[in-house]
Amino acid sequence: MRWKISNKQEDYNASIRFMETEVQNISDKKLENLIWILEYPSLYTAGLSAKPIDLLNKNKFPIFNSNRGGKYTYHGPGQRVIYTLINLNNDKDIGKFVSNLENIIIGTLSDFGIKGQRNDNHHGIFVKKNDNQNYKIASIGCRFKNWISYHGFSINHNPALEHYSGINPCGLNNKNVTSIEDLGKKISKEELNVAIKENILRMFKI
């Protein structure tokens, strides 16, 4: 397993090109699996299930079409994006893989005293706030090529939640999003990176 952690904001199109090249190399058995933790400048991406009605302000941030699953989502400063490029040829179970990603997120949040939970109607991980409503704190959007997974998941560390106002993220009301900091937890980016890595290692036993 290889690890790549970016210390600067990445260019979206360049990152996708890099990831697709890596997927091909993993498929050709030229390279080992890769986990890439990164951050983007503010932008919206439209997954394969994105609906025009969920784009509320097309001029707020740059918009990129993505070949991942899912609908519209936001990426930007304060959000950790984790790309999981993993060969599944020895265990061809996409449902299990997505469940593993959910468990990684739930475990990471638990490390900071946050109870994350699944939602039967939406992908990603949610938390309940004091108003007893569900708020999304992490998104999942994957794609698979030759049984190599890519794209992955994101966790809201401390983004400006107002930046979601230009879309209905994943088809949800854009006010129903939260972050680790919004929940009153003050942690560093490095602490979050460590927790993500430990939970990935624990889940995939690598």
DSSP state of 161: G
* Alpha helices per DSSP H over 12-149: 12-27, 94-110
Q: Each residue of 35-60: b (16+ CB within 10 Å) or e? A: bbbbbbebbbbbbeebeeebbeeeeb
| CA–CA–CA angle 47, 49, 51 (5° rounding) | 100
For residue 112, count other CB atoms closer than 10 A to its CB. Answer: 14
- Active-site positions read 170
Cα(31)–Cα(28) distance, rounded to whole angstroms? 8
